[in-house]
Structure 1
Amino acid sequence: MTEAPRPTPGALTRYRVMAIITGTLLIVVFLGMLRYIDALGVPESWDPFFLTLAQVHGVVYIVYLATVMQLWLQARWGYGRLATMFFGGIVPLLSFFVERRITHELRPASEERA
């Protein structure tokens, strides 16, 4: 019986870094925008800093999606896993849980103990 394909260590590292960066930016944007709930229909009243930060998150999310696709293609997972990884960049805190689960699954037990 053959083993399931394992992604390269570089693909996993790139995914982990981007998941952490994307998740952190998403939390900052989410928490920063909470104070503007009353002004949702009036974008002129939003702080330009958070609008810029939201755009930065959007660009970083695109890079995150590229790392997700690379890891997903190398691991040959199903579409459900792909969707979960995609949502990790748009649901606050989800990227941290998904990243941890994927890392735990792909890393050998000997590496985790070290």
Structure 2
Amino acid sequence: MALSGVHITCAYVGGRDGEITQGMLLVGALIWSRTMAAPGVTDAMVPGAGQFPNPPLADAIFEVRPSIDIYMAWGPSPDASKAMGIAPGTGRIFIPAGETRDVFANRGDRVAWVAA
């Protein structure tokens, strides 16, 4: 089945010891994933302390792959419809269809997207 919309994965990065090896960004532990057919904001967020059993000593990321050109924002209250902003989650990035983008995330962050 072909992807329709945007697939978003939230994960911790790094090896089993929580370290990134030789500058490579590798998914170490999957937290959650969503495939969203329509623009919006994820219902899940990067978990806080104590919400993920045995979290690795690593940073969280969002891995995003759209089937269409999109704008994406992330943060505590992201809004991808704004062209610019200065508060967390009010700026956005462009992701072309068929490309995968990885971005670092903080506890409590969500992803929002709109069609470009």
- Superposition TM-score tier, normalisation by shorter sequence: under 0.3
Give me the TM-score of the superposition, normalised by structure 2: 0.23
Which structure shows the bigger proportion of residues in helix conformation?
Answer: 1
TM-score, normalisation: structure 1: 0.24
